Amino acid sequence: MRMLLCHFLLISLSCFFVLALTWNQDQQYNQAKNYEGSSDLVDLEYHMGPVLTSPINLYIIWYGQWNPNHQATIRDFLDSLSYASTYPSVADWWRTIRLYTDQTGSNITGSISLTGEFYDTWYSEGRYLSRLAIQSVIRTAVRSYPHALPLNPDNGLYLVLTSSDVHVQDFCRAVCGFHYFTFPAIVGATVPYAWVGYSGTQCPGMCAYPFAWPNYSGKPPPGINGGANNMLRAPNGDAGADGIISVIAHELAEVSSNPLVNAWYAGDDPTAPTEIADLCVGVYGSGGGGGYVGKVYMDSWGNGYNVNGVRGRKFLVQWIWNPVRKRCFGPNAMD
């Protein structure tokens, strides 16, 4: 799908932005694309570039109108990345990402602090954003007066989240989120960033899987909620919010291991790399793949989750390729 997109766009610059979570049907449901079992066929390689080894200062840019409950859920997820909670926790899930190192043998950091937030409630770039316009959104956030975010090229990571009424190029058609780095000519420095859209109204079946099922796929296969048409219930009560969290998790794993698009990825084409989370899309527990999420937990209300977070929260995040075990892995693994 990513390759295809590049062909469509021919040699356009956009081709370089296609570092995206492409939750297309092929990737999501074809067993061949999921590697829950060990595989030597995965050609994940290190390409000598940096990874995020310094403690990360994370800055959120809330673009558009956001529901405060959804914001609170997302903040709690981000806080859970580096704070201990009941095993298996979000921080335990992040340990897989910490297994990746740079040339000097330094691991990806285990410290991610939500350091600043910016509220672009006036849709500074409008409601239809090109991929490149995301960089202009970041520029606005670091230049606004008086509540600007710092421009932090040393250890800053910027997360742009667009609300349900914002249309982003390729959102809901080819991607649920993507990551890249800013151009100094636009933002003033090179900083890694990720964008993820709230899919709750535009395309929950595509980007809030497995809390919503894609209509075009017919009934969910047996094993998901007993094969009924209703899906796994969202642990924090909203498919869009719980769905965006799994996509944020995906993008954070990839931007940390491939921030300048020259570190950890598989495949020969750096403009359409398969990154450490792409290898495990749709897998949330043991046995997952091919349309089955895998063994996950159910709370007493029947909500599905696989990790614990701060303040008693529960979350469902996809597994990540583990370079030591050479398979997709998460802390809720049965083996």
Give the footprint of ligand NAG on this chain (CB under 6 A). Answer: 98-99, 101, 107, 205, 215, 323-324
- Is residue 291 a contact partner of residue 221, using CB atoms and an 8 Å limit? yes
Closer to ligand NAG at the Cβ: 45 or 269? Answer: 45
**Cα of 182 vs its chain's centroid, Å:** 18
Closer to ligand NAG at the Cβ: 177 or 323? Answer: 323
| DSSP per residue, 203-234 | -HHHHSTTTS--GGG-SPPTTSGGG-SS-PBP
Within 10 angstroms of residue 53's Cβ, the number of other Cβ atoms is: 18
Q: Quote the least distance from Cβ 90 to ligand NAG, whole Å.
A: 15
Close Cβ partners of 16 (under 8 Å, ≥ 6 residues apart): 180, 261, 271
Q: Quote the least distance from Cβ 264 to ligand NAG, whole Å.
A: 11
Q: Quote the least distance from Cβ 6 to ligand NAG, whole Å.
A: 26
Q: Quote the least distance from Cβ 54 to ligand NAG, whole Å.
A: 14
With tokens 């954003």, the residue in question is 129
Three-state secondary structure call for residue 87: coil
What's the token pair of residue 173? 């058609």
Closer to ligand NAG at the Cβ: 289 or 330? Answer: 330
Closer to ligand NAG at the Cβ: 158 or 264? Answer: 264
With tokens 């558009």, the residue in question is 64
Three-state secondary structure call for residue 264: strand
d(CA 214, CA 27): 13
Q: Quote the least distance from Cβ 116 to ligand NAG, whole Å.
A: 27
Close Cβ partners of 160 (under 8 Å, ≥ 6 residues apart): 61, 63, 134, 137, 138, 193, 194, 195, 196
Q: Quote the least distance from Cβ 100 to ligand NAG, whole Å.
A: 7
Closer to ligand NAG at the Cβ: 95 or 131? Answer: 95
Q: Quote the least distance from Cβ 107 to ligand NAG, whole Å.
A: 4
> How many alpha carbons lie under 13 Å from residue 103 in its C-beta half-sphere?
6
Closer to ligand NAG at the Cβ: 43 or 269? Answer: 43
Q: In this structure, what are the phi and psi dihedrals at residue 189, rounded to the nearest 5 degrees?
A: -165, 165
Closer to ligand NAG at the Cβ: 104 or 215? Answer: 215
